[in-house]
Structure 1
Amino acid sequence: MSYIDGFILAVPKANKNKFIQHAKTAGEVFMEWGAVRVLECWEDDVPDGKVTDFRRAVQATGDEAVVFSWIEWPDKATRDAGMEKMKTKMKSDPRLDPQTNPMPFDGVRVVFGGFAPVVALEA
């Protein structure tokens, strides 16, 4: 069964196109390293909650959009190998180097984690 890395982040609305390019570039690298699917989703219907919500989770301001992303891997071993490559190649691969492909968002406020699917329904 697959393994999923999930992310929630706040991106300045003015940086939408920069974010899309950044995400495409990074996503191509993850695909090279074994990911089977990368999705980057720009907020469309993200309501405020009474106790918590996506916006609060990343401390999004009024001029920021919430992005919900995930990387699907065929298994955890492939994911772990891909993440290890990320750590070791971040400075040597210009597609990942923050100097040549800077994050157009505040990386400190990214919420992320790895998940093992427990239910998978498909059409």
Structure 2
Amino acid sequence: MKHYLLYLALGFSLGASAQQPAPPTKPAEPCPLMVPTSLSRNMESVPALQCDCRITAFKGKVYSRWGQELFATEDPARFPAGLLQTEKLESGTYMWVIEYTVIVGADPVERKTTGYINVL
């Protein structure tokens, strides 16, 4: 029985991938809104949402997994802490939607963002 050794020449070089341009990246959004991801009734202090820019208009809503609105506020200082004052709020994951206006430079910019918050 004869054994053959097969050499396969590959048509690429190891350095070729380093020469390809990087894919374009999305520029960072100015004035992102940072919303806490978890809340608990046992917390000593409930974390507040944060934004580096001045918020001039705000509407925040929290929904159950069935789409029922559980909490709404137009006061950014009450979001998401006010959710814990909702009657019969059970532990679980809830979706939030925030529409807000911030001042970027000298111009007002309307934003809408969504996310999830876990109630422990």
Q: Normalising to structure 1: TM-score of the pair? A: 0.25
Q: Which has the higher helix share?
A: 1
Q: Normalising to structure 2: TM-score of the pair? A: 0.26
Larger Rg: 2
